[in-house]
Every structure is written in structure tokens, then in C-alpha cells.
């Protein structure tokens, strides 16, 4: 049985449009997750270690103020298009669209005011919560009225996140959740003792602005071969890597399949990621720099968390040989990701 509670988390500042931010607490015997109506943010996620002790394993803030200031998308649903679009430009049906550039020369995670920064309309379900919003035609320069539903449901140790959308005009769309995990517990110094594996035979090399070059490269014989579990710290050293911020190409299938596993041997906590999406962005918190005060007044230094963001391939709207990022009127965007937590 999953227990669902709702409570007031805070009030948005007037310059952000005001409005009450609610927090939804989903609780099973194995997992407790807290989700905000602002940006569908996963603000906390507690899971057991092998001794049955609960710890919060996602980065974030204790108060609303942290989330309304600039932060690296902690726990949020990002869109209309997650990840990067080269030069913030794309052409749909002969019309060029220019987006806001918020990541060097590129557009990242929906632009200046993406889905992470807006209030969503919640509906409580027996085992979770569904958030809805209408992204109006022209919002952040994207075409079409886009109706979006993001549904979180908890069953035992499994958190499911379903994304649905419908549009009035052809538009690119790519939705994901940007939770930052540390299975030792948020506030732990680094993730070097975590074991990671990703079910991908290929990955996308990127240029110096993190845009895919267009090549789909085999992982075989490279530092990107994570098909067998690696201990992250040793692996980064061995291949002289500063960290990961790359898309790994999953099997092209609409069915649920295993994408990645993360395990923290000292506590026994493990997480498996299943998805219907064609890619997963593995990010090792390279840009965290200790400047943000997180939950419990801890700071978050570089490599103190990892993200496994299930999504379409970055810049797919400008790369015809990548899986299509376009949603057309009359179609439905529908993807699910499942996070399964256990301890051994």
C-alpha cells in the first residue's frame, strides 16, 4: 500500500507570479518520496540500506527559496526539450525558431523559464500524483499549445514517472527528470565508491560545447564502456576522465527495458533504471562546486552526485539520423521511466 499526503510547501514570490507550492509525500514500506508542484521536483527520496536504515538519496533544498533561486535543476522535470539544442535553433515545417541561449552558445533544458520553474496543477491518485500544465504556443519560442501530464506513482520499492503530451502544432519535445543521486545519502562527499553500469553499446561523442558531433560511437575499448559495473572513482582515474555528461544510446524499442544500475557497496543501496526512452544522459555532477547550501546546510562539491536522465538524444531536432524529437498534432508523446530501489 502507498500512502499519499499533501501539504503546503511555500508561496511563490510575486515576481514569479505568486501561487501556493504544494508538496506531495508518497510513502511505501520501502521508499518515501516528496514531490513539489513547482517543476514536478523530487525534493526528497528516502530509501533503505541493507540494515533497514532510511536515508535521503537526492540533492535539493529544505525550503522553497532554494528552488526559486538559480540551481542546477535539482530533482526537476525539464522541458519542453531536455538537454541541449545547438545554437538554440531548429527548423520545423520550413520555419526557423530561435530559442534563448542559456548554456554558452546553446539552449539547455527548455530555455530561460522552462518546465522546472513553473507551477503545475496537481491531482492526487490512490498511489501517487499527476501534474498537468498547458505550455502555450510560443512559450520560450516553441511552437504549439502543448498539454503535458507528468504522473508519479509509487509501488513498493519502485517509483514510476510517466510523461504524456499532446500538441496543436508540430513541436520538438523531450522530457526527463533531473534528480541528482548519492546512494550513500545526500550530503556525502563524492560518488567515487559507487558502482555504475549502463546497458549501451554506443554513445554520442560531443564537441567542446557538449553538442553531439553526430557520430554514434561504439563504447567497446573506451572509457564509455560501462556494460559491466565499474567503480566510478577508479574508472575516471584509469581513463583520465573529468566526469561524464554524455548520452548513451539504448536499444531502440518502445518496451520497458533495463537502462542502468547504480550500487553503493558500503550501504548495499542499489537503484535500477528502466525506461521506454532511446537514450540516457549519464552526468556526474561535474559543475557542482560547493557554492550551494543544500538540505541540512550541507554543501555539494563536484562529483557529489550523479544523474541518470532517460530521454531522447540531445540535439535530435537538428540531427535527422537521431531518433525523431518531433510531436505532431493528433499524436501522443508517451514515455515511462521506472526507478527501482533495493538493498543487499
Task: Tell me the pLDDT of the chain (344 aa) as tens digits.
Answer: 999 999 999 999 998 889 999 999 999 999 999 999 999 999 999 999 999 999 999 999 999 999 999 999 999 999 999 999 999 999 999 999 999 999 999 999 999 999 999 999 999 999 999 999 999 999 999 999 999 999 999 999 999 999 999 999 999 999 999 999 999 999 999 999 999 999 999 999 999 999 999 999 999 999 999 999 999 999 999 999 999 999 999 988 889 999 999 999 999 999 999 999 999 999 999 999 999 999 999 999 999 999 999 999 999 999 999 999 999 999 999 999 999 999 98
| Number of structural domains in the chain | 1
309 annotated active-site: yes
CA quadruple 286, 102, 163, 186: dihedral sign: positive
46 annotated active-site: no
Task: List alpha helices for 172-280, DSSP H.
Answer: 232-238
All three cell numbers of 72, joined, read 542546477
Catalytic residue (choose from 22, 139, 140, 309)? 309
Q: How far apart are CA 160 and CA 35, in angstroms?
A: 13
**Annotated binding site: which residue ranges?**
83-84, 178-180, 245
* Domain of residue 133, residue span: 3-343
**Annotated binding site for beta-D-galactose: which residue ranges?**
83-84, 178-180, 245
CATH number at residue 276: 2.70.98.10
pTM exceeding the 0.85 threshold for the entire prediction: yes
Q: 150 in helix, strand or coil? A: strand
Catalytic residue (choose from 34, 46, 139, 178)? 178
All three cell numbers of 199, joined, read 546497458
Q: How far is CA 162 from CA 88, 165, 246, in A?
A: 27, 10, 23
Amino acid at each position: 500500500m502507498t500512502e499519499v499526503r499533501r501539504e503546503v510547501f511555500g508561496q511563490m514570490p510575486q515576481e514569479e507570479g505568486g501561487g501556493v507550492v504544494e508538496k506531495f509525500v508518497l510513502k511505501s514500506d520501502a521508499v518515501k518520496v516528496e514531490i513539489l508542484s513547482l517543476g514536478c521536483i523530487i525534493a526528497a527520496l528516502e530509501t533503505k540500506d541493507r540494515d533497514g536504515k532510511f536515508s535521503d538519496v537526492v540533492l535539493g533544498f529544505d525550503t522553497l527559496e532554494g528552488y526559486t533561486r538559480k540551481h542546477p535543476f535539482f530533482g526537476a522535470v525539464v522541458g519542453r526539450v531536455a538537454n541541449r539544442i545547438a545554437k538554440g535553433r531548429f527548423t520545423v515545417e520550413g520555419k526557423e525558431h530561435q530559442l534563448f541561449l542559456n548554456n554558452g552558445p546553446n539552449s539547455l533544458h527548455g530555455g530561460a523559464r522552462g518546465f522546472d520553474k513553473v507551477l503545475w496543477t496537481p491531482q492526487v491518485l490512490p498511489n501517487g500524483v499527476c501534474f498537468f500544465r498547458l505550455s502555450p504556443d510560443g512559450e520560450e519560442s516553441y511552437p504549439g499549445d502543448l498539454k503535458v501530464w507528468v504522473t508519479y506513482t509509487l509501488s513498493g520499492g519502485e517509483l514510476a514517472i510517466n510523461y504524456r503530451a499532446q500538441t496543436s502544432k508540430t513541436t520538438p519535445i523531450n522530457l526527463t527528470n533531473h534528480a541528482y543521486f548519492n546512494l550513500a545519502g545526500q550530503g556525502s562527499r563524492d560518488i567515487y565508491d559507487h558502482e555504475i553500469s549502463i546497458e549501451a553499446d554506443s554513445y554520442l561523442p560531443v564537441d567542446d560545447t557538449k553538442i553531439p558531433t553526430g557520430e554514434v560511437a561504439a563504447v567497446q575499448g573506451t572509457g564509455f564502456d560501462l556494460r559491466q559495473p565499474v567503480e566510478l572513482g577508479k574508472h575516471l582515474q584509469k581513463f583520465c576522465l573529468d566526469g561524464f555528461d554524455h548520452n548513451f544510446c539504448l536499444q531502440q524499442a518502445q518496451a520497458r527495458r533495463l537502462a542502468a544500475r547504480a550500487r553503493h557497496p558500503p550501504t548495499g543501496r542499489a537503484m535500477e533504471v528502466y525506461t521506454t526512452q532511446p537514450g540516457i544522459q549519464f552526468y556526474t555532477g561535474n559543475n557542482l562546486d560547493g557554492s550551494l547550501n543544500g538540505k541540512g546546510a550541507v554543501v555539494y562539491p563536484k562529483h557529489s552526485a550523479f544523474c541518470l536522465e532517460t530521454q531522447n538524444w540531445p540535439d535530435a531536432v537538428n540531427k535527422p539520423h537521431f531518433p525523431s524529437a518531433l510531436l505532431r498534432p493528433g499524436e501522443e508523446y508517451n514515455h515511462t521511466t521506472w526507478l527501482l530501489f533495493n538493498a543487499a
